[in-house]
Amino acid sequence: MSAIDLARKSLKAHEGYRTKVYQCTAGKNTIGYGRNLDDKGITQEEAETLLDNDIVECVKDLATFHWWNNLTDLRQAALIDMRFNLGPSRFRGFVKMIKALEMGDFTEAAYQVLHSNYAKQVGIRAEHIAEALQ
């Protein structure tokens, strides 16, 4: 076993793995295997990897809707954005929008996005999503 492999094993054992941010003994916001978010943060490459993983998760979830594969790339991209922002359960709260998508009524789907509390909260993001859905 190499020094890196040995160190990895030791660090995992000593640090432990946490999926959520916690405060380490020094009071620093930390995640994973002891990543100090306050002092080190994450690199852009790491952020890109996290984003890619989250997009894959969104697509897997959205693919459970039978109408998903019939959408254009632009409509799929808009819904990925919305699903990413809302999470799975809040996305499913858009019952009328989802019903409109199921019926192929993209004007109504866009209307439902624009006339929601979500649109009031995210502003131009909702406008971009609605425009892509039409």
- Residue 129: which CATH number? 1.10.530.40
**Is 15 considered catalytic here?**
yes
Same domain flag for 124 and 62: yes
Among residues 32, 9, 14, the alpha carbon closest in space to that of 22 is found at 32
Check: CB of residue 34 under 8 Å from CB of residue 11.
yes
Write out pLDDT tens, residues 87-104. Answer: 999 999 999 999 999 999
- Of the residues 15, 57, 108, 127, only one is catalytic, namely 15
Do 77 and 16 share a domain, yes or no? Answer: no
Task: Give the model's pLDDT for residue 13.
Answer: 96
Residues 57 and 25 grouped into a single domain = no
Our CA dihedral for 76, 82, 84, 87, rounded to 10 degrees, sits at -120
Q: What is the mean pLDDT of residues 11-19?
A: 96
The first and second tokens of residue 64, run together, are: 């459970």
- Residues 10 and 76 grouped into a single domain: no
pLDDT at 10 (0 to 100): 96
Does pTM surpass 0.85?
A: yes
Are residues 71 and 126 located together in one domain of the fold? yes
Please tell me the distance from the alpha carbon of residue 61 to that of residue 50, in angstroms, as a whole number.
17
Number of structural domains the chain divides into: 2
DSSP structure string for 16-41? --EEEEEE-TTS-EEEETTEETTTT-
Mind listing the pLDDT tens digit for each residue in 18-67? 999 999 999 999 999 999 999 999 999 999 999 999 999 999 999 999 99
- Alpha-carbon span 46 to 78, nearest angstrom: 24
Q: Are residues 69 and 27 in the same domain?
A: no
Q: What confidence score (pLDDT) does residue 132 get?
A: 98
Per-residue pLDDT averaged across 63-88, rounded? 98
Per-residue pLDDT, 129: 98
Whether residue 20 is found in the same domain as residue 65: no
Q: 23 lies in which domain range?
A: 3-36
Token digits for 24?
Answer: 């380490």
Q: Based on the fold, state whether residues 121 and 68 are members of the same structural domain.
A: yes
pLDDT of residue 91: 98
Catalytic-role residue among 24, 57, 108, 127: 24
